[in-house]
Amino acid sequence: MLVSLACGKGSSPTAPSEPAAPTRVIQVSGDLAFGDVEVGASAERTMRIANNGNSAMTVTSLSMTGGSPLTANWLTGVIPAGGTREVVVWFSPTTTGAVSGSVRINADHTAGSNQIAFSGRGVRTGPVWQRDGAGNTVFDMPAAISRVRIVGTYRSNSSNFIVRVGGRLVVNELLGRSWGQERYEGVHQVSGGVVAITNSSGVEWSFTEVRD
């Protein structure tokens, strides 16, 4: 019996491949331009947090800059590799005026951008708030009011006109013929609260909301 033997060098063993390094690539998208929203109401938008890496990504918190009146329905959790999480964001202004800033997603990502910009404006479209009277009194100003015009008039010789809003002194004037000033008028930044008019007997006064 003849046996044929193959001659030659044997093939080298294949080296094991290195495992891929774990990646967690964050991507944040969506439209958080809320536009005009009535003070005391809310508007909602949706943003998406994507993990374009090959490993699960842990989100530990969401933070907002700009002193924003924002809330969200999801703040922490795990997004799998290749996964996306939709997050509803609400803008609920408590005062009038424009607000802008960014939402930051705090996570263990290895790459990508973890921020998205937002903007909105609180507006008041209902009746303008107003209050008038005379002398010393205490009353509540709605919290949504951020600017108010205060007018005081005293047509006799002399009186103080002292106004505190939320415990803060905003007007301290001497009115009357003796002082050559029978009328005071000024616009003040406030945030609502209890209005206290003291030491102002006989002064006729009015408070009118000022809007942008």
Strand ranges in the chain using DSSP code E only, listed in sequence order: 25-30, 33-38, 43-51, 57-64, 70-72, 77-79, 84-91, 97-107, 111-112, 115-123, 130-134, 137-141, 147-153, 159-165, 168-175, 183-189, 193-198, 204-209
Q: Are 161 and 86 members of one domain?
A: no
Q: Are 160 and 204 members of one domain?
A: yes
Q: Which residues pair with 130 in a beta bridge?
A: 208
Distance from the Cα of residue 202 to its chain's centroid: 42
Q: Give the CATH number, domain containing residue 200.
A: 2.60.120
- What share of the chain has pLDDT > 70, as a percent? 91
CA angle 107, 111, 113 (to 5 degrees): 75
Decide: pTM greater than 0.75.
Answer: no
User: pLDDT of 23-46, one tens digit each?
Assistant: 999 999 999 999 999 988 999 999
Q: Are 64 and 119 members of one domain?
A: yes
Average pLDDT, integer, range 149-153? 98
Give 161's Cβ-side CA count (13 Å radius).
28
**How many structural domains comprise the chain?**
2
Residue 199 has pLDDT above 70, yes or no: yes
Q: Are 29 and 114 members of one domain?
A: yes
- Structural domain for 140, as ranges: 130-209
Q: Are 145 and 93 members of one domain?
A: no
- Domain end, chosen from 73, 88, 123, is at 123
Residue 68 forms part of a structural domain: yes
Q: Are 65 and 144 members of one domain?
A: no
- Domain end, chosen from 94, 123, 152, is at 123
The chain-wide mean pLDDT, for the chain, equals 91
Give 105's Cβ-side CA count (13 Å radius).
35
Q: Give the CATH number, domain containing residue 56.
A: 2.60.40.10
Q: Are 118 and 139 members of one domain?
A: no
CB distance 79 to 56 below 8 Å = yes
- Domain end, chosen from 123, 149, 170, is at 123
Q: Are 93 and 149 members of one domain?
A: no
**Nearest of 29, 31, 30, 26 to residue 82 by alpha carbon:** 26
Q: Are 40 and 66 members of one domain?
A: yes
